[in-house]
Structure 1
Amino acid sequence: MEALLHYVWKHKLYANVSLISSDGSPITVIDPGMHNTDAGPDFFNAKIKIGSQMWVGNIEMHTYASQWNKHQHQKDKAYNSVILHVVEYVDVDVVKTQSGQVLVQLALEIPPAIKENYANLIQKDSPLPCAQKIRDIPEIFITDWKNALLTERLEKKTEQIFAILEEYKQDWGQAFYITLARNFGFGINNDAFERLARSLPLKIILKHSDSVLQVEALFFGQAGLLADNNEDNNDDNEDNNNKEEDQYAIALSKEYAFLKNKYSLQPLEGYLFKNLRIRPNNFPHIKIAQLAALIKSQPFLFSKIMETTEIADLKKLFLSQLHPYWLTHYNFSKSGRAREKNIGLSGLNIILINTLVPMLFAFGKKRADQVFMQRALTIIESLKEEQNSVTQLFANAGVKIHNAGDSQALIQLKREYCEKKKCLYCRIGHKVLLKSLNNA
């Protein structure tokens, strides 16, 4: 319950009619300080009055006062700046800092209504414990929270892009290519597609971007999907001798053998790419073919994105035609009647949401250019909302989802707050707890 103690202190929600230290001194909180979630005291730069004396310094909190010594704070110079030890239970009368200072201790009372409702939230076996309470919260409040959550999500993706940039010496084209490839994995194959892109540098592909045969040979060969005319690794295998000879796959294999030797490439294992529980149009062979077609048609896609401002024109950049072979194939072993397998509208939306928007946002942040960051936000708010289990969960609870910015915000909320039981850090959770206090 220490996290709840932090919450009550931060928002001044304590049940105490008046704050009295364990030695009988009255305490007035002028400023609870800045919450610290890293190592060191729990709150920095608090301002309090103990008796008639004003103090400015740090606050440390524990459920039990004895945890001060248990955590070895009495030996740590980092805690010499602590001016008040706030606890729920004073089970030892005296605690000292490393410098020998005896600390004033305060037993803080958590309001019973908050304690009870918090326990209900974190212990409830539900993907959305506050579902029954959300409808009572004003929409404008939830809208503000969604806006903040969207920024949080883009900041998180920006950190991932910056990490790739650091790894590849600030090469934005390579970082974009890796991010783009990852998102062609459409969830289940994201990691495999990222590994594929990392194993096949963009500069090699660009040298052969005038030949669809060579581009596909590089991608499929590096993916390990050309060996023995390799088919879907997750379907029931058939005897290779019974397979229909596939001339296109043979041509790709021959081309890849030459390119592999030329560039000293090390292919992945084909089993990394999964077909189970996904629609045929999202099979890895089809997504790799789409990725290859896109890079073949737009070898300098990142540069064009930076120069294009209209959303309709941006969407056109991501449209490309697959090699005719893929009209009748989902992999290299099975053919069927001709069906269009180019990137559809929903697939395009996913690529724009997860690749284009984060890259624009990251580019703007890196350059301290608000124009690119705002463009990213404008684009995502113009895209149709995603349809998935997370958006359905919140829609059922009465949350309105207007665009892809909202759906991304709710994914951030679900993954970073709901699943981690961080109700105390969630604005909706805060509102629910405040309401329980007001109704007590």
Structure 2
Amino acid sequence: MEKLMQYVWQHRLWRQNDMRTVDGRRLQVIDPGRLNNDAGPDFFNAKISIDGRIWAGNVEIHFRASDWHRHGHSSDRAYDSVVLHVVDRDDAVIRRSDGQIIPQMRMPCSPDLHLKYGALVGAADRDIPCAGAIKDMPSVYITDWMSTLGFERLYAKAERLEEMRRRFGGDWEQAVYISVARCLGFSVNSEPFERLAMSMPLMFIGKHADSQLAVEALLFGQSGLLDRYAGSDPYAARLSREYAFLSHKFGLRAPEALGWKMARMRPPNLPYRRIAVLASLIRSGFRMTSRLLAVRTIDDAMALFSPAMDGYWSTRYTFGPEGNRTLKAMSRESVTIMTINCVAPLMMAYGTVHGDTHLTDRASALLHSLAPENNRIVSMFGEAGIKVPDAFTSQALVELRRNYCEKRKCLYCRIGHRMLADSARRRE
């Protein structure tokens, strides 16, 4: 509850005319101060007026006034600079270490504020407790928040890619290779795919990039997915023998338990199929950075992420019997997701590093040109009244759900802020 009270104080969500100290003196907040996230008083450098006299110092906030004593502040000289104690329950007089009484006030907020806050942060994972408020908010307010969230997610992905590049000594190609591998895993197998790529350096694959067998052997061997089929499928057995030779040559060790997920997965998304696609992208040399940066439309991305699936994988999703039809590398929907999660972040990262604003602008423009994702999060917010015209907005909604709703950071969400601000200022 103190967190909510700090929020109300920080954002001035009170009725100024109602503010008095517990002993009846008129109080005016000139400056609420700066929120302190470390040890010490909650707000530094505040400025208040009590009956016309100006006080400058710190502010401490507690649910109960008696918490001042329970927390040991009465004997802590770090709290001697507190000029105001803000509480919900006025159940004790508080003093500085020298015995001087500190002015105290009760937070003058609407009585339903706590209930509203509890309803927001206590809702079940699948609920949108602010759904009613979304429908009532001006569209320009929602649009502005979606714009902020969309860029927030795009910058976060770009920074992740840039961190990977720095990790590999500034090598864009290695970072992009790992990023492409991660994206091929989509949300379900993104971590195993990233770990696979990290364990199989691009420079080793490059030495045998002209051999489809060698590239697939290296990737499948490192993935740990060959053992199950090597005894029953001739091609898997061949890959296993090739991997034994190459792993000895390069001193490779397959990582333990990558954690592949297979349950309830559509055949085109199985890791076997996705590894085969990655192998086809690498065949004859990866060299993807410049090609990704040149993408301008979804058709460009389709051409880039649709390598020819020759031979064994032209008719198979996994090891085993041959299928009865030729298969595409990826569907248009899958390529759209790859563009969202791989191409646009690379443009933003590369443009930021090189000071190329045209490229960073193209990153967001590309997302605005793509169809929105079709997932539960997008459907949920769509039903609540948010229009989702493009992938930039669908990404904004994923950011909202993952980093605000699920983490119960309603205080930091503009929709939650609007709801709580209205409740805080509503008269009894």
Q: TM-score w.r.t. structure 2 length?
A: 0.89
1:198 alignment partner in structure 2? 198
Q: How does 1:200-239 map to 2 (within 5 A)?
A: 200-227=200-227, 229-230=229-230
Q: Distance in 2 between matches of 1:327 and 1:425?
A: 49
User: What is the aligned partner in structure 1 of residue 417 from structure 2?
Assistant: 430
Looking at structure 2, the residues matched to 392 and 51 of structure 1 have their Cα atoms a distance apart, in angstroms, of 54
For residue 331 of structure 2, the aligned residue among 332, 336, 344 is: 344
How much has 1:183 moved relative to structure 2? Answer: 1.6
Q: Percent identity?
A: 42
Q: Which structure 2 residues correspond to residues 88-103 of structure 1 after superposition, within 5 A?
A: 88-96=88-96, 103=102
Shift of 1:221: 0.8
CA distance in 1 between counterparts of 2:11 and 2:83 reads 19
CA, structure 1 residues 366+74, in 2 after alignment: closer, same or farther (shift >3 Å)?
A: farther
Distance 2:198 2:241 in 1: 23
Unaligned 5+ segments in structure 2 are none
The residue matched to 1:299 in structure 2 has which SS? coil
Output one character per residue of 1:340-371: Cα deviation in whole Å (capped at 9) or x when no partner: 13121111111111112222223334445433
Classify 1:69/1:369 alpha carbon distance in 2 versus 1 (closer, same or farther; 3 Å): farther
The counterpart of 1:354, out of the listed 341, 345, 365, is: 341
Equivalent residue letter for 2:119: N
Amino acid at match of 2:414: R
Matched-pair contact (CA < 8 Å) for 2:130–2:416: yes
> Structure 1 residues 72 and 206, CA, compared in 2 at 3 Å: closer, same or farther?
farther
Structure 2 residue 268 is matched with structure 1 residue 281:
yes
Q: Is the 8 A contact 1:357 1:380 kept in 2?
A: yes
Q: Which moved more, 1:407-416 or 1:356-365?
A: 356-365
In the alignment, what sits opposite 2:259?
Answer: 272
Check conservation: 2:29, 2:47, Cα contact below 8 A: yes
Q: Is the 1:20–1:106 contact (alpha carbons within 8 Å) kept by the matching residues of 2?
A: yes
- Measured after TM superposition, the shift of residue 167 of structure 1 is 3.2
| Aligned twin of 2:104 | 105
| More displaced 10-residue stretch of structure 1: 30-39 or 57-66 | 30-39
Deviation of 1:282 (Å) = 0.6
Partner of 1:54: helix, strand, or coil?
A: strand
Residue-by-residue CA offset, 1:117-151 (whole Å, 9 max, x unaligned): 22333334452112233211111111111011112
Shift of 1:434: 4.0
Corresponding residue for residue 43 of structure 1: 43
Q: Structure 1 residue 166: deviation in Å? A: 4.3
Which residue in 2 is equivalent to 1:302? Answer: 289
8 Å contact kept, 2:210–2:283: yes
**More divergent stretch after superposition (61-70 vs 350-359):** 61-70
SS in 2 for 1:398: coil
Point out which structure has higher relative CO (alpha carbons under 8 A, 6+ apart): 2
Q: Distance in 1 between matches of 2:352 and 2:45?
A: 29
Q: Which residue of structure 2 lines up, in the alignment, with residue 236 of structure 1? A: none
> 1:13 maps to what in 2?
13
Amino acid at match of 1:116: L
Match of 1:331 among 314, 318, 323: 318
Query: Which moves more between the two structures, 363-372 or 123-132?
Result: 363-372
Q: For residues 281-307 of structure 1, give each alpha carbon's deviation from its aligned partner in whole angstroms, at most 9, with x where no partner exists.
A: 11110000111111225611123334x
Q: Summarize the Cα distance change of 1:115–1:261 in structure 2 as closer, same or farther, 3 Å threshold.
A: same
1:9 & 1:31 partners in 2: Cα distance? 10
The amino acid of 2:46's aligned partner reads A
Please give the alpha-carbon distance, in whole angstroms, between the structure 2 residues aligned to 1:40 and 1:344. 56
Are 1:147 and 2:131 an aligned pair?
A: no
Structure 1 CA distance for aligned equivalents of residues 197 and 366 of structure 2: 26
How far, CA to CA, are the matches of 1:323 and 1:395 in structure 2? 41
Alignment pair present for 1:405 and 2:404? no
Asked whether the equivalents of residues 286 and 341 of structure 1 are also in contact (C-alpha less than 8 Å), the reply is no
CA contact (8 A) 1:326 1:341 kept: no
SS in 1 for 2:283: helix
**2: distance between equivalents of 1:338 and 1:226?**
24
Contact 1:382 1:404 in 2 (8 A): yes
2:308 to 300, 304, 321: 321
Question: Residue type of the partner of 1:18?
Answer: D
Aligned to 1:132, the other structure's residue is in SS state helix
Measured after TM superposition, the shift of residue 108 of structure 1 is: 1.2
Contact residue 225 and residue 270 of structure 1 kept, 8 A? no
Distance in 2 (CA, whole Å) between partners of 1:38 and 1:321 is: 56
Displacement of 1:100 in angstroms is 8.3
Unpaired stretches in structure 1, ≥5 consecutive residues:
231-239
Instruction: Name the residue aligned to 2:236.
Output: 249
Q: Is the 8 A contact 1:381 1:403 kept in 2?
A: yes
Question: How many residues are aligned here?
Answer: 425
Residues 318 and 64 of structure 1: is their aligned pair in 2 closer, same or farther, counting only changes over 3 Å? same
Shift of 1:217: 1.1
Tell me, what secondary structure is at the counterpart of 1:227?
coil
Moved more, 284-293 or 269-278: 269-278
Q: What is the alpha-carbon root mean square deviation over aligned residues?
A: 2.8
Q: How far off is 1:81 after superposition?
A: 5.2
For 2:279, the aligned partner's letter is A
Match for 2:116: what amino acid?
A: N
Cα distance change on mapping 1:100 and 1:323 into 2, 3 Å = farther
Amino acid paired to 1:431: R
Query: Residues 218 and 114 (structure 1 numbering): CA distance in 2 closer, same or farther, change over 3 Å?
Result: same
The match for 1:233 is none
